[in-house]
Amino acid sequence: MEFIAALAASSMSNHISNILKQAITTFTCKPEWFTINLHSLISSMDKTTAEDVNFPTQFTSDRLWKQPGKAPVTCIEIYEDLNVSISIFILKPGGRLPLHNHPEMYGLIKVITGKVKITSYSINTERTMEVDRRSFKGETVPPFSYHRKQIVTAELSSSEIVDTGSNTCVLEPNRNNLHEIESVDGPAAFLDVLAPPYGTLIPNNGPRLCSYYSILSQVSSSIFRLQETKSPSWYWTDAFPYTGPELVV
Ligand SMILES: [Fe+2]
């Protein structure tokens, strides 16, 4: 009887719930299980489609985005706890998420409608550290704080166009941690898993905030100095409720 009950419960599950369950497992498990769980999460995300979240079709039409005062980006929050958040970001045609960071976070992006260009930068790479060592030779502390805004040395790690047929894009604390995402050829939407979520505490370092950056200078072909900036005035978001399958955790 117990076996039948378990089977019935699992048949009530759905793809987005399975992703949520796997995300919670991945970001709360013992370190030795992390890599295998992360790969399992990525392969589930790879299979995610707009239907799995009952993506609201009105966001695929140009008419909605032409409404006066419409935010250039809409966010649908699906789930959030202290370990993981899952949401959908929808970008208007020609819309963009400005260059931003994910402090000590993992992020997984799966495009579910349209096409986006993701330009990613990595921090604390061998090349950025080498550049910083040369630049700040003889100084005990690199002058990272300039006019009270942070300056980051970052390596351009990838610039790629991804669509619904593409695999999940992954960012890590040091790899691809900063990115800019823009829609290509019309509106686009992606499922976004973040862990830990923004707003949670970084141990010994205060709240985990999202910072925005602009390119201050180019040091070499792929090394840039990025300066923290205010959130650009052309960027703001509005919210839309989640209307997909019930989450079963
Ligand atoms: Fe991001």
Q: How confident is the model at residue 144 (pLDDT cuts 50, 70, 90)?
A: low
Q: Are strands 188-195 and 212-218 parallel, antiparallel or unpaired?
A: unpaired
Ligand 1 centre to CA of 216 (Å) is 20
* Mean pLDDT within 105-120: 98
Of 61-65, 88-92, 134-138, highest mean pLDDT: 88-92
Ligand 1 centre to CA of 134 (Å) is 30
Ligand 1 centre to CA of 153 (Å) is 18
Cα separation, 11 vs 74, in Å, equals 32
CATH class of 55-239: mainly beta
Ligand 1 centre to CA of 8 (Å) is 37
Token pair 């976004």 is at which residue? 192
Ligand 1 centre to CA of 179 (Å) is 6
Cα separation, 195 vs 81, in Å, equals 10
State pLDDT tens for residues 40-83: 999 999 999 999 999 999 999 889 999 999 999 999 999 999 99
Token pair 């790629």 is at which residue? 160
Collect all residues with Cβ–Cβ distance below 8 Å to 217 and sequence separation of at least 6: 224, 225
Ligand 1 centre to CA of 62 (Å) is 24
State pLDDT tens for residues 147-194: 446 899 999 999 999 999 999 999 999 999 999 999 999 999 999 999
pTM of the model: 0.90
The residue type of 194 is L
